[in-house]
Amino acid sequence: MEASTASVNEEPVQVKKKIIENGFYCDVCEKVFSSRAHARTHKPAHMCLRKLKCSKCEKRFYRPHHLRAHETIHSSARPFACDICKKTFKLEMTLKHHRNSHSGERPHECPDCAFRFREPKALKRHYRNIHLNQKFYECNVCKTKFNRRESLRSHLNKHKEDYPFGCNLCGKLFADASQLQKHKKASHLEIRTSKSSQSQQKT
């Protein structure tokens, strides 16, 4: 499927709506895709441009602020504190979103129904679930799809008697331990390798 690009001549609301509707876009060239799979297939073309490497792991980034945001996962420091409730955060942007919970401000408006949200991720979730009814979360046992991760987790409880081996990384269920191990090696090897390299650096 062809990727569509949000034009700079479009109204801001139209651009936001296009990104929300498609759901997946390239943070390098800003092309918008209709599925996560298409975005993932496209992104490796830009790997040569990702010259900013994390000092703690193997991840690379194109934009400096993306690298800075990523590097916070390797640190326990939470330098941004709310001046109202004293809750602390790793990122200044997270603190800004949190402050909306005290002020009652809802700056993010749905382009279809004008419902407003405190955080952009809440707007995206609303638009995906209510206006698009997109179902990204699939049960690996019966293939039923859900538009909320919480709904999938609740559904998986029905299968636990026959599929007692659950993946602690993604929640998928399996009938025996060998299937679970094969799944982890195939789907989560990158995560396990990253954690291993981090632990080696600490020692």
pLDDT, tens digit, 9 for 90 and up, residues 158-182: 888 888 888 888 888 888 888 888 8
Tell me which residue range forms the domain holding 178: 137-190
Residue 18 domain flag: yes
pTM of the model: 0.35
Q: What is the mean pLDDT of the chain?
A: 75
In a domain, 198, yes or no: no
27 in the same domain as 42: yes
Instruction: Kindly list the distances between the CA atom of residue 31 and the CA atoms of 1, 51, 93, 162, in Å, as whole numbers in the listed order.
Output: 13, 20, 24, 43
Asked if 128 and 155 sit in the same domain, the reply is no
The pLDDT score that the predictor gives to residue 22 is 52
For residues 34 and 18, the answer to whether their CB atoms sit within 8 Å is no
Percent of the chain with pLDDT over 90: 3
Same domain flag for 128 and 147 = no
2 assigned to some structural domain: yes
